A and B are shown apart, each in its own frame.
Chain A
Amino acid sequence: MISQLLDFLGSDLAHYWKIAAAVMPALLKGFVETLKLALVGIVWGSLFGGMLGILRGQYIRIATPLIGAYLHLLRGTPFLVQLYVIYFVLPNTGYSWLQWDSQTAAFVSLGIYTSSYVTEIVSGAIRAIPRGQWEGAFALGFTRLKTLRLIILPQSVGLILPALGGVYVTLIKATSIVSVVGIVELMRQADISIVRFPGDILYIYFLAGALYFAFCFPVLMLVGRLEERSKNGRMVRT
């Protein structure tokens, strides 16, 4: 009955306006939560993935195949399944420090998910630096660490940064999946708002989509521009 009434009013612009005004505060709150999740994911993922990527970038006997296996495991399973494994299987092992609430599970799974992308990007960027750079530095008596810090990494930053922007967009989109374990982010807020206004399912999802778009689209544009520049051989200003 109510939904029929809302359908009838649906043609009314004022009605949409009213729904938007009623729903937007919740959606914006969810959007902030989404950004927070993504930020935590990118920080942990970048730290962890950066370390793994630096290791993988230089052919170390045991580490490189091990990291390769880790990457394949993460790339071979859907994020939803990774999340379920971290949320349901790890607490089942019985160790008390693995008894995570949904918030921690979400952070951990997003961080691990991001790390696989970052590892690939960083190792690719390090391998893209010609070998002569390593050899030249060694000839000058640089240690391996110093070579990395002073010669190799500064040159690969221009390759890494634009790609990280792309990962950030992927991550923002992946946070929507975390809503299934009960994290109240943008997607979940949209679901909650739909319970309040069941006649406007589509409209509320469109509003949520517009928020995602408002963030992801400019980042994607920027990434495209930066990639274009680094392809042209110019340094990306950092």
Chain B
Amino acid sequence: MEDFVSAIQSAYNIRIVGQYVDEFARGVGHTVTAAAFSLALSLVFGLALALMRISGRRFLSYPAAAYVQIIRSTPLLLQIYIVYFGLPAIFPSMGRLPEIILGIIALTMHTGAYMAEIIRSGLLSVPNGQREGAIAVGMTTFQQYRYVILPQGIVNIIPALLGQTAILIKDTSLLSLITVFDLVSAGMLLNSDRVRPNEAFLTIAAIYFVIYLLVLFLSRLVEDRLAGRGWRVPA
């Protein structure tokens, strides 16, 4: 028994992690903050891009389509570096923004493109008769979207949006490379202090996994709830 405990301790000593609880908490806080802000902003940005794409006006839909394709065809790490080095160079008047804000901007630009694709497919899934009906009762374009198209379009894509959110949370790990003190940085700090890679990296992985399970649970919950009220299962 004694041997077993010491073997476990030499492989993964929970006390070392215990000494770094504050750092890990701070890291998780930054990770969650970055993910939450990027999520909210990218939903707004993605909706704008999706509306531009389906607007049917070339000067709106072409730039939006080009933007989405460019984002989808280049790595996120490159986009983060471009924002990190580029924004301060283009707008020197902004001064030195904190890294986490630059990171949120980069993640928003990246995730927004993917959100736009999802939202677009949701909006296109609403039958045309709905819009025609809304026009027939005299709604303005804004009212059509606000009361008829968006509510039906968004419901269909909530699972996909949650999936993209899970990806976004994982993508925040790349912010550690532009010196944001996120979850990965917290583990790196432990490793560079104590040279205990097991405690450092397995803890990071475990925490990310727990966050992932929470999102998974949430999406199951949402799907079940939607299933209760005329949820249309895609064929």
Is the Cβ of B74 less than 8 Å from the Cβ of A173?
yes
**Is A84 positioned at the interface, with any CB of B under 8 Å from its CB?**
yes
Is the Cβ of A206 less than 8 Å from the Cβ of B197?
no
Q: Interface range on chain B: under 10, 10 to 19, 20 to 34, or 35 or more?
A: 35 or more
Is the Cβ of B209 less than 8 Å from the Cβ of A212?
no
State the Cβ distance, B84 to closest chain A Cβ, in Å.
10
Is the Cβ of A205 less than 8 Å from the Cβ of B184?
no
Complex contacts, B212 vs chain A, CB 8 Å: 72, 75-77
Is the Cβ of B170 less than 8 Å from the Cβ of A187?
no
Is the Cβ of A213 less than 8 Å from the Cβ of B202?
no
Most buried by B among A72, A77, A202, A205: A77
* CA–CA, A202 and B202, complex, Å: 35
**Is B89 positioned at the interface, with any CB of A under 8 Å from its CB?**
yes
Is the Cβ of B173 less than 8 Å from the Cβ of A80?
yes
Complex contacts, B200 vs chain A, CB 8 Å: 88
**Is A154 positioned at the interface, with any CB of B under 8 Å from its CB?**
no
* CA–CA, A49 and B15, complex, Å: 37
Total A-B pairs, Cβ < 8 A: 107
Majority secondary structure, A binding face:
helix
Known contacts A78-B208, A88-B197, A216-B74, A206 near B82 by CB under 8 Å: yes
**Is B14 positioned at the interface, with any CB of A under 8 Å from its CB?**
no
Q: Give the number of residues in A that approach B within 8 Å (Cβ atoms).
A: 37
Is the Cβ of A77 less than 8 Å from the Cβ of B205?
yes
8 Å CB interface, A171-200 against B: 172-177, 179-180, 187, 190
* CA–CA, A206 and B78, complex, Å: 9
* CA–CA, A151 and B77, complex, Å: 42
* CA–CA, A200 and B122, complex, Å: 41
* CA–CA, A82 and B204, complex, Å: 10
State the Cβ distance, B77 to closest chain A Cβ, in Å.
5
**Is A62 positioned at the interface, with any CB of B under 8 Å from its CB?**
no
Complex contacts, B135 vs chain A, CB 8 Å: none
| 8 Å CB contact of B77 from A77, A89, A177 | A177
Stretch at the interface among B21-29, B65-73, B136-144: B65-73
State the Cβ distance, A196 to closest chain B Cβ, in Å.
15
| 8 Å CB contact of A85 from B85, B86, B177, B201 | B201
**Is B198 positioned at the interface, with any CB of A under 8 Å from its CB?**
yes
**Is B99 positioned at the interface, with any CB of A under 8 Å from its CB?**
no
State the Cβ distance, A176 to closest chain B Cβ, in Å.
4
**Is B221 positioned at the interface, with any CB of A under 8 Å from its CB?**
no
Complex contacts, B208 vs chain A, CB 8 Å: 76-78, 81
Closest to A212 in B: B74
Known contacts A73-B209, A173-B75, A81 near B201 by CB under 8 Å: yes
A84-B201, A179-B77 given; 8 more Cβ-contact pairs under 8 Å? A77-B208, A78-B173, A78-B174, A81-B201, A202-B89, A205-B82, A209-B74, A209-B82
A-B contact pairs, 6 of them (CB 8 A): A75-B212, A79-B170, A84-B184, A172-B75, A187-B78, A201-B85
- Nearest first, the 10 closest Cβ-Cβ pairs linking A and B are A76-B212, A216-B73, A78-B173, A176-B75, A78-B170, A88-B197, A173-B75, A76-B209, A217-B73, A176-B77
